[in-house]
Amino acid sequence: MRLRGRPILVAGLIAAVALAPLALSTTAGAATTPTASFTKVNDWGAGWEGRYTITNSGTTSITSWRLEFDLPAGTTVGSYWDALLTSSGQHHTFTNRSWNGTVAPGASVTFGFVGNGSGAPVGCTLNGQPCGGGTTPTTPPPSTTAPPTTPPPTAGTPVAANGQLRVCGRQLCNRNGKAIQLRGMSTHGIQWYANCATPASLDVLAREWNADVLRISMYIQEGGYETDPRRFTDMVHNYIELATARGMYAIVDWHMLSPGDPNHNLTRARTFFAEIAERHKDKVNVLYEIANEPNGVSWSSIKSYAEQVIPVIRSRDPEAVVLVGTPDWSSLGVSGSGGGVDTIAANPVTGGNLMYVFHFYAASHGDLYYNTFAQAADRLPLFVTEFGTQEYTGDGPNNFTMSQRYLDLMASKKISWTNWNFSDDFRSGAVFTTGTCGSGQFGGTSRLKPAGAWIRDRIRTPDDF
C-alpha cells in the first residue's frame, strides 16, 4: 500500500517504559497473597512461548502487579503481550497494563512472551515476594545431535492437510499436486502493531476465523528493520513459530515501500533472508515475499534484485515458494510505466517455485486493474499478498461489491490471498476497532469494523483441501 501515514507507536512495544508505583488495596486484618505460576505453552527448541498466571488467593483486591525474573545467559525475551516490560541485562520486569492491574479475590490474569533460547525463568518474584506458584514441567531441551524443530502441526490444520507447497504450472499446489487457495490476513507493520498479533489474537485467527496463512509484515524503513536488524529478525522468527504452532502458513514479507527500488536494500535483504531461511529450512509452511511493492523502477531492476536474493534462500531452503513483487506497487505495472504483464512474461525471473505478487484496493482499483489481473492469471502464477476493500491508502469507504468481484475471480482461478490488515489502526482497512489490541479481547464480532466482519466471513469459508 502506498500512503499509510505513520501510526503512533503503541506503548506496549517500547522496551523501556516508566513503571507506575505499585499499590495493594488493603483492609485492616486482611492480607493479600498473590501467587504466579509459569507454563511453557509451546517449545520449538530454539525458543518457546511462555505464560505467567497471576492468581489472587487473598481476600482483598490487588490494584497493580509487578513480576520479575532472570533468564540464563543466551536466552532473551522477544515479543510479549498483556504486560509492560523493562529489561536490564538478564533481569526482566513485567508490570500490568492499564486494563489488567486489578485482580479480585479468587481471580487470575495472564500475560505472555516469547523466549529466544533454551533457558527458563528463575528467581521469580511478584510484588517483591517469591512467586510461590511453582513451575509447570517443560519439554526437555532438544538433543544436540539433531536440529530443533517445531512439533508437527495439529491434525486438521491447513499445514497438516497440505504440507509442503509448490508451484505447478500457474497454480499453488499442495504436496499431492492439488491446486489450492490459501486465505488469511496480513499484519500491519510489526514495529507499530505487535500487540495486535499475539498468541491470543492468532488463536482467534486460526481457530475462529479458520485462516490458512499469516503474512508477517516487517517494514524495512519507517522505523523498521534498518533501525534494529537483530530485534526485527527475532520478531519474525517468533511470528513464524507462532504461526507454525497453530498450523498456519507464514509469509515473510520484506515490506520495502520507500525508497521504491528494492536494490536499495539488497545487502540487508540478503543478510535477513539468509538467517530466516537457515533457521526455518526444515519447516514446510514458510513462504518468502522478497519485495513488497517495488515502485519507480523497471521490471529489469526488480528481476535483477530477485535473482540476487532468491539464491540466498534456495541454498538453504530449496523447496520453499518465493513471491516476487511486480512493478508499480505490485500492480503488474498498471499504476505506472515500470513494465506490465507482457514484460514480465517475456523476461521471467529464473527458477522454479516462484509466484508474482498483485495488490489491489477495491475502492480505488476498478475495471482496468481487475481486467489486467484476470488476464495475467492466465499467463503467470499469482499470489495476492495484500488487498483491501477500501481506497489504496487503506482508508475511506469500503467497496464490497468490487471486492467480491475480485474474490470470485480468485476463487475460480485458485489464487491465494491475504487481506490488509490484522490490527486496530484507526483506518477503515484495519479489521479491529481502535483499542481492541490493548484490551486483548479479539474473539467474536463485536470489536470488528465493517471491513473486518466482511473479510472474517470470507476467510471462514475454507477451500476444499
pLDDT of residue 464 exceeding 90: no
In whole angstroms, give the CA distance from residue 453 to residue 457.
6
Residue 304 CA neighbour count, 13 Å, CB half: 11
Averaged pLDDT, 73-91: 89
Catalytic residues, by residue number, are: 293, 386
Q: Which of 130-144, 162-176, 309-323 has the lowest mean pLDDT?
A: 130-144
Does residue 150 have a pLDDT over 60? no
- Per-residue pLDDT, averaged over 386-402, amounts to 96
CA atoms within 13 A of residue 446's CA, in its CB half-sphere: 3
Q: At residue 391, does pLDDT exceed 70? A: yes
Which of 73, 192, 75, 52 has its CA nearest to residue 133? 52
- Per-residue pLDDT, averaged over 147-156, amounts to 53
| Residue 452 scores a pLDDT above 60 | yes
The answer, yes or no, to whether residue 3 has pLDDT greater than 50, is no
Euclidean distance between CA atoms 320 and 48, whole angstroms: 24
Range scoring the smallest mean pLDDT among 49-53, 188-192, 384-388? 49-53
Is 324:355 a contact under the CB 8 Å cutoff?
A: yes
The Cα 123–Cα 273 span in angstroms is 37
* Per-residue pLDDT, 145: 33
Question: For the segment 17-38, what is each residue's pLDDT rounded down to a tens digit?
Answer: 333 333 333 333 345 579 999 9
Residues 341-379: pLDDT tens digits?
999 999 999 989 999 999 999 999 999 999 999 999 999
- Domains (range + CATH), the chain: 12-135 (2.60.40.290), 158-459 (3.20.20.80)
> How far is 161 from 153, CA to CA, in rounded Å?
9
pLDDT tens column, 205-243: 999 999 999 999 999 999 999 999 999 999 999 999 999
Lowest-confidence range among 129-138, 187-196, 213-222, 251-260?
129-138
- Give pLDDT, residue 29: 34
pLDDT band of 146, cuts 50, 70, 90: very low
Residue type, 70: D
**Which three cell numbers mark 70?**
532472570
Q: What is the pLDDT of residue 99?
A: 78
Please give, one letter per residue, the 3-state secondary structure of the chain.
CCCCCCCCCCHHHCCCCCCCCCCECCECCECCCEEEEEEEEEECCCEEEEEEEEEECCCCCECCCEEEEECCCCCEEEEEECCEEEEECCEEEEECCCCCCCECCCCEEEEEEEEECCCCCEEEEECCEECEEEECCCCCCCCCCCCCCCCCCCCCCHHHHHCCCEEECCEEECCCCCECCCEEEECCCHHHHHHHCCHHHHHHHHHHCCCCEEEEEEECCCCCHHHCHHHHHHHHHHHHHHHHHCCCEEEEEEECCCCCCHHHHHHHHHHHHHHHHHHHCCCCCEEEECCCCCCCCCHHHHHHHHHHHHHHHHCCCCCCCEEECCHHHHCCCCCCCCCCHHHHHHCCCCCCCEEEEEEEECCCCCHHHHHHHHHHCCCCCEEEEEEECCCCCCCCCCCHHHHHHHHHHHHHCCCCEEEECCCCCCCCCCCECCCHHHHCCCCCCCCECHHHHHHHHHHCCCCCC
Selection from 294, 289, 304 nearest residue 262 by Cα: 294
- Report the distance separating Cα 243 and Cα 215, nearest Å: 10
Among 204, 249, 181, 227, smallest CA distance to 464 is for: 181
Residue 46 has pLDDT above 80, yes or no: no
Going by pLDDT thresholds of 50, 70 and 90, the confidence category of residue 154 is: low
pLDDT surpassing 80 at residue 134 = no
Q: For cell 524443530, what's the residue? A: 149
Q: Are 256 and 292 in contact (CB under 8 A)?
A: yes
Q: Which residues contact 164 (CB under 8 A, 6 or more apart)?
A: 174, 175, 284, 319
Percent residues over pLDDT 70 in the chain: 88
Per-residue pLDDT band at 172 (split at 50, 70, 90)? very high
The rounded mean pLDDT for the chain is 88
For residues 126 and 88, give the distance between their C-alpha atoms in angstroms, rounded to a whole number: 17
Q: Which amino acid is at 142?
A: P
* CB count in 10 Å sphere of residue 3: 10
Strands 91-95 and 66-70, by their bridges, are: antiparallel
User: How far is the C-alpha of 289 from the C-alpha of 305, rounded, in Å?
Assistant: 13
Mean pLDDT of 253-276: 96
Cβ 290 vs Cβ 353: under 8 Å: no
